[in-house]
């Protein structure tokens, strides 16, 4: 079945720094999604990608659908305290069900 590897597992940064995280899959995907989860809440969609090479922004967040269709990247510029949380990638290939990465826990020191 499809598997996702998300890295890093955790990040500790200073406020104002840029953040990068990525996901790689064992097979080709045709959809990549990035979610953020705040404590005590469900994941909320940040960015959806549907085409290889696609680069999409949502405010300070930018995500890319890798050319190989086996990876995706999420960047956060000029981090602020409300960026704290767990970020999940999710992907789907063909008729397969959506699979999720293990998550990246972001902690920001003010």
Partner 1 sequence: NAGVTQTPKFQVLKTGQSMTLQCAQDMNHEYMSWYRQDPGMGLRLIHYSVGAGITDQGEVPNGYNVSRSTTEDFPLRLLSAAPSQTSVYFCASSPEGRRASNQPQHFGDGTRLSIL
Q: Tell me which residues touch partner 1 (CB under 8 A).
A: 1, 4, 6, 9, 30-31, 33, 35, 40-45, 48, 50, 88, 90, 92, 95, 97-103
Q: Residue 43 or residue 66: which is nearer to partner 1 going by CB?
A: 43
For residue 87, the SS3 value is strand
For residue 13, the SS3 value is strand
Place of tokens 């999710």: 90
C-alpha 110: how far from chain center: 23
* 8-state DSSP, 89: E
Q: Residue 5 or residue 15: which is nearer to partner 1 going by CB?
A: 5
Q: Residue 44 or residue 80: which is nearer to partner 1 going by CB?
A: 44
Least distance CB 107 / partner 1 (angstroms): 16
């Amino acid at each position: 079945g499809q598997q996702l590897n998300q890295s890093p597992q955790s990040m500790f940064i200073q406020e104002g720094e840029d953040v990068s995280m990525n996901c790689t899959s064992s097979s080709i995907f045709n959809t990549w999604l990035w979610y953020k989860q705040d404590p005590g809440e469900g994941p909320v969609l940040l960015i959806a990608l549907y085409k290889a090479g696609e680069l999409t922004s949502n405010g300070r967040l930018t995500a890319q659908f890798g050319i190989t269709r086996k990876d995706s990247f999420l960047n956060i510029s000029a981090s602020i305290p409300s960026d704290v949380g767990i970020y999940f990638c999710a992907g789907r290939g063909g008729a397969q069900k959506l699979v999720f990465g293990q998550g990246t826990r972001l902690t920001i020191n003010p």
